[in-house]
Chains A and B, each alone.
Chain A
Protein backbone atom coordinates (compact mmCIF):
# COMPACT_ATOMS: atom_id res chain seq x y z
CA UNK A 1 0.00 0.00 0.00
CA UNK A 2 1.11 3.54 -0.63
CA UNK A 3 0.98 6.34 1.87
CA UNK A 4 1.89 10.02 1.89
CA UNK A 5 2.25 11.90 5.15
CA UNK A 6 2.22 15.66 5.51
CA UNK A 7 2.63 16.14 9.22
CA UNK A 8 2.21 19.91 9.12
CA UNK A 9 -1.50 20.66 9.02
CA UNK A 10 -1.16 24.43 9.11
CA UNK A 11 1.77 26.80 8.79
CA UNK A 12 1.65 30.54 9.20
CA UNK A 13 4.55 32.82 8.20
CA UNK A 14 5.10 36.50 7.65
CA UNK A 15 5.73 37.69 4.12
CA UNK A 16 9.36 37.33 2.94
CA UNK A 17 10.08 34.48 5.33
CA UNK A 18 11.25 31.15 3.96
CA UNK A 19 9.04 28.15 4.62
CA UNK A 20 9.50 24.41 4.12
CA UNK A 21 6.64 21.98 3.67
CA UNK A 22 7.44 18.40 4.62
CA UNK A 23 6.37 15.28 2.77
CA UNK A 24 7.18 11.68 3.69
CA UNK A 25 6.03 8.78 1.56
CA UNK A 26 5.79 5.00 1.71
CA UNK A 27 5.70 2.63 -1.24
CA UNK A 28 6.93 -0.82 -2.14
CA UNK A 29 7.26 0.09 -5.80
CA UNK A 30 10.72 0.72 -7.17
CA UNK A 31 9.44 3.03 -9.88
CA UNK A 32 7.23 5.87 -8.79
CA UNK A 33 6.58 9.56 -9.23
CA UNK A 34 6.23 12.29 -6.66
CA UNK A 35 4.23 15.47 -7.16
CA UNK A 36 3.40 18.72 -5.47
CA UNK A 37 0.13 20.50 -6.16
CA UNK A 38 -1.18 23.84 -4.92
CA UNK A 39 -4.85 24.35 -4.16
CA UNK A 40 -5.88 28.01 -3.84
CA UNK A 41 -9.30 28.90 -2.41
CA UNK A 42 -10.84 28.53 -5.87
CA UNK A 43 -10.41 24.76 -5.49
CA UNK A 44 -8.46 23.84 -8.58
CA UNK A 45 -5.33 21.76 -8.01
CA UNK A 46 -2.41 23.44 -9.72
CA UNK A 47 0.52 21.25 -10.72
CA UNK A 48 3.89 22.45 -9.41
CA UNK A 49 6.43 19.69 -9.95
CA UNK A 50 6.95 16.01 -10.75
CA UNK A 51 9.99 13.89 -9.89
CA UNK A 52 10.62 10.27 -10.72
CA UNK A 53 12.18 7.78 -8.33
CA UNK A 54 15.42 7.59 -10.29
CA UNK A 55 16.14 11.29 -10.21
CA UNK A 56 17.25 12.59 -6.83
CA UNK A 57 18.53 15.88 -8.10
CA UNK A 58 17.09 18.82 -6.28
CA UNK A 59 15.21 21.33 -8.35
CA UNK A 60 14.79 25.06 -8.16
CA UNK A 61 12.18 27.08 -9.99
CA UNK A 62 12.19 30.73 -9.09
CA UNK A 63 11.31 31.00 -5.41
CA UNK A 64 10.38 27.31 -5.23
CA UNK A 65 12.79 24.47 -4.54
CA UNK A 66 12.35 20.79 -3.88
CA UNK A 67 14.56 18.37 -1.97
CA UNK A 68 14.09 14.68 -2.81
CA UNK A 69 15.86 12.15 -0.58
CA UNK A 70 15.15 8.47 -1.19
CA UNK A 71 17.13 7.46 1.87
CA UNK A 72 14.57 9.15 4.11
CA UNK A 73 11.61 8.80 1.71
CA UNK A 74 11.08 12.53 1.77
CA UNK A 75 10.21 15.11 -0.84
CA UNK A 76 10.21 18.51 0.83
CA UNK A 77 9.16 21.79 -0.71
CA UNK A 78 10.66 25.16 0.18
CA UNK A 79 9.30 28.56 -0.72
CA UNK A 80 11.88 31.31 -0.44
CA UNK A 81 10.81 34.87 0.35
CA UNK A 82 7.16 33.90 0.69
CA UNK A 83 4.42 36.14 -0.65
CA UNK A 84 0.77 36.56 0.27
CA UNK A 85 -0.18 34.94 -3.06
CA UNK A 86 1.51 31.75 -1.86
CA UNK A 87 -1.28 31.25 0.65
CA UNK A 88 -3.00 28.00 -0.29
CA UNK A 89 -3.21 24.33 0.60
CA UNK A 90 -0.27 22.35 -0.72
CA UNK A 91 -0.54 18.66 -1.44
CA UNK A 92 2.20 16.12 -1.91
CA UNK A 93 1.22 13.08 -3.99
CA UNK A 94 2.66 9.73 -5.05
CA UNK A 95 1.98 7.76 -8.19
CA UNK A 96 3.29 4.30 -8.90
CA UNK A 97 3.08 2.50 -12.19
CA UNK A 98 1.35 -0.84 -12.15
CA UNK A 99 1.00 -2.00 -15.70
CA UNK A 100 -0.85 0.74 -17.49
CA UNK A 101 -2.92 1.89 -14.57
CA UNK A 102 -1.92 4.39 -11.99
CA UNK A 103 -3.51 6.67 -9.46
CA UNK A 104 -2.38 9.51 -7.26
CA UNK A 105 -2.19 8.97 -3.52
CA UNK A 106 -2.35 12.33 -1.79
CA UNK A 107 -1.18 13.51 1.57
CA UNK A 108 -3.62 15.36 3.79
CA UNK A 109 -2.29 18.73 2.72
CA UNK A 110 -0.63 21.67 4.46
CA UNK A 111 -2.52 24.94 4.77
CA UNK A 112 0.01 27.73 4.28
CA UNK A 113 -0.95 31.23 5.31
CA UNK A 114 1.39 34.06 4.44
CA UNK A 115 0.65 37.20 6.42
CA UNK A 116 1.46 40.65 5.05
Chain B
Protein backbone atom coordinates (compact mmCIF):
# COMPACT_ATOMS: atom_id res chain seq x y z
CA UNK B 1 0.00 0.00 0.00
CA UNK B 2 1.40 3.39 -0.95
CA UNK B 3 2.27 5.77 1.85
CA UNK B 4 1.28 9.37 2.35
CA UNK B 5 2.39 11.51 -0.57
CA UNK B 6 2.97 15.24 -0.55
CA UNK B 7 3.52 17.60 -3.43
CA UNK B 8 5.56 19.51 -4.15
CA UNK B 9 8.55 18.39 -2.13
CA UNK B 10 10.28 21.76 -2.32
CA UNK B 11 8.99 25.27 -2.84
CA UNK B 12 10.60 28.67 -2.92
CA UNK B 13 8.35 31.70 -2.63
CA UNK B 14 8.76 35.36 -1.83
CA UNK B 15 7.15 37.35 0.94
CA UNK B 16 3.54 38.30 0.26
CA UNK B 17 2.86 35.42 -2.10
CA UNK B 18 0.52 32.57 -1.33
CA UNK B 19 1.17 28.85 -1.57
CA UNK B 20 -0.87 25.66 -1.77
CA UNK B 21 0.47 22.32 -0.58
CA UNK B 22 -1.14 19.00 -1.39
CA UNK B 23 -1.41 15.75 0.52
CA UNK B 24 -2.73 12.37 -0.55
CA UNK B 25 -3.39 10.04 2.39
CA UNK B 26 -2.87 6.33 2.56
CA UNK B 27 -5.68 4.57 0.70
CA UNK B 28 -8.65 4.11 3.02
CA UNK B 29 -7.49 6.67 5.55
CA UNK B 30 -10.09 9.30 6.28
CA UNK B 31 -8.32 11.71 8.61
CA UNK B 32 -5.61 14.09 7.48
CA UNK B 33 -3.58 16.29 9.81
CA UNK B 34 -1.01 18.96 9.03
CA UNK B 35 2.02 19.94 11.09
CA UNK B 36 4.65 22.65 10.74
CA UNK B 37 8.24 21.89 11.71
CA UNK B 38 10.76 24.67 12.31
CA UNK B 39 14.11 24.66 14.12
CA UNK B 40 12.83 27.18 16.65
CA UNK B 41 9.32 25.93 17.41
CA UNK B 42 9.68 22.25 16.61
CA UNK B 43 6.69 20.26 15.43
CA UNK B 44 3.42 22.13 15.81
CA UNK B 45 -0.09 21.00 14.94
CA UNK B 46 -1.87 23.07 12.30
CA UNK B 47 -5.23 21.39 11.71
CA UNK B 48 -7.02 18.11 11.21
CA UNK B 49 -9.67 17.18 8.66
CA UNK B 50 -12.10 14.30 8.65
CA UNK B 51 -14.88 13.76 6.13
CA UNK B 52 -14.21 17.15 4.53
CA UNK B 53 -14.68 18.94 7.88
CA UNK B 54 -12.06 20.66 9.95
CA UNK B 55 -12.22 18.88 13.26
CA UNK B 56 -9.41 20.51 15.15
CA UNK B 57 -7.21 23.55 14.70
CA UNK B 58 -3.92 24.59 16.23
CA UNK B 59 -2.82 28.04 17.26
CA UNK B 60 -1.93 29.54 13.90
CA UNK B 61 -3.14 32.76 12.26
CA UNK B 62 -5.96 32.78 9.77
CA UNK B 63 -3.45 32.99 6.91
CA UNK B 64 -3.17 29.24 7.31
CA UNK B 65 -6.15 27.36 5.95
CA UNK B 66 -6.92 23.96 4.59
CA UNK B 67 -9.54 21.77 3.09
CA UNK B 68 -10.26 18.13 2.45
CA UNK B 69 -11.90 16.66 -0.61
CA UNK B 70 -14.37 13.79 -0.87
CA UNK B 71 -11.52 11.40 -1.75
CA UNK B 72 -9.78 12.41 1.52
CA UNK B 73 -7.01 14.28 -0.28
CA UNK B 74 -6.17 17.51 1.47
CA UNK B 75 -4.65 20.84 0.64
CA UNK B 76 -3.33 23.56 2.87
CA UNK B 77 -2.93 27.16 1.85
CA UNK B 78 -0.80 29.90 3.31
CA UNK B 79 -1.60 33.40 2.16
CA UNK B 80 0.56 36.52 2.44
CA UNK B 81 3.69 34.54 3.16
CA UNK B 82 6.11 35.77 5.82
CA UNK B 83 9.76 34.85 6.30
CA UNK B 84 8.78 32.93 9.43
CA UNK B 85 6.60 30.59 7.39
CA UNK B 86 9.73 28.89 6.08
CA UNK B 87 9.40 25.36 7.41
CA UNK B 88 8.89 21.71 6.67
CA UNK B 89 5.16 21.07 6.36
CA UNK B 90 4.21 17.52 7.20
CA UNK B 91 0.96 15.80 6.41
CA UNK B 92 -0.23 12.73 8.29
CA UNK B 93 -3.13 10.39 7.71
CA UNK B 94 -4.92 7.92 9.95
CA UNK B 95 -7.65 5.34 9.52
CA UNK B 96 -10.05 6.72 12.15
CA UNK B 97 -12.46 3.95 12.95
CA UNK B 98 -15.14 5.50 15.10
CA UNK B 99 -13.69 7.69 17.83
CA UNK B 100 -10.51 5.72 18.30
CA UNK B 101 -7.34 7.67 18.07
CA UNK B 102 -5.46 5.83 15.39
CA UNK B 103 -1.81 6.09 14.58
CA UNK B 104 -0.86 8.93 12.29
CA UNK B 105 1.43 8.05 9.38
CA UNK B 106 3.45 10.88 7.94
CA UNK B 107 4.44 11.88 4.45
CA UNK B 108 7.89 13.11 3.39
CA UNK B 109 6.91 16.73 3.83
CA UNK B 110 7.06 19.87 1.73
CA UNK B 111 9.97 22.15 2.45
CA UNK B 112 8.88 25.74 1.97
CA UNK B 113 11.42 28.53 1.77
CA UNK B 114 10.18 32.12 1.88
CA UNK B 115 12.63 34.73 0.60
Contacts and interface: CB of A to CB of B under 8 A. Distances in A.
Interface residues of B, number: 24
B29 interface: no
B40 to A, nearest CB: 10
A63 B101 CA distance: 27
A44 interface: yes
| Interface size band for A | 20 to 34
Interface of B: 33, 35, 42-43, 45, 48, 50, 55-56, 58, 88, 90, 92, 99-101, 103-109, 111
Interface in A60-116: 91, 93, 95-97, 99-109
Main secondary structure of the interface of B (DSSP, over half): strand
B7 to A, nearest CB: 14
B101 A45 contact: no
A43 B56 contact: no
A102 B101 contact: yes
Interface in A34-54: 35, 37, 42-47, 50
Contacts of A108: 42
A61 to B, nearest CB: 15
Contact of A104 (B45, B100, B108): B45
A97 B99 CA distance: 8
A100 B45 contact: no
Contacts of A95: 101
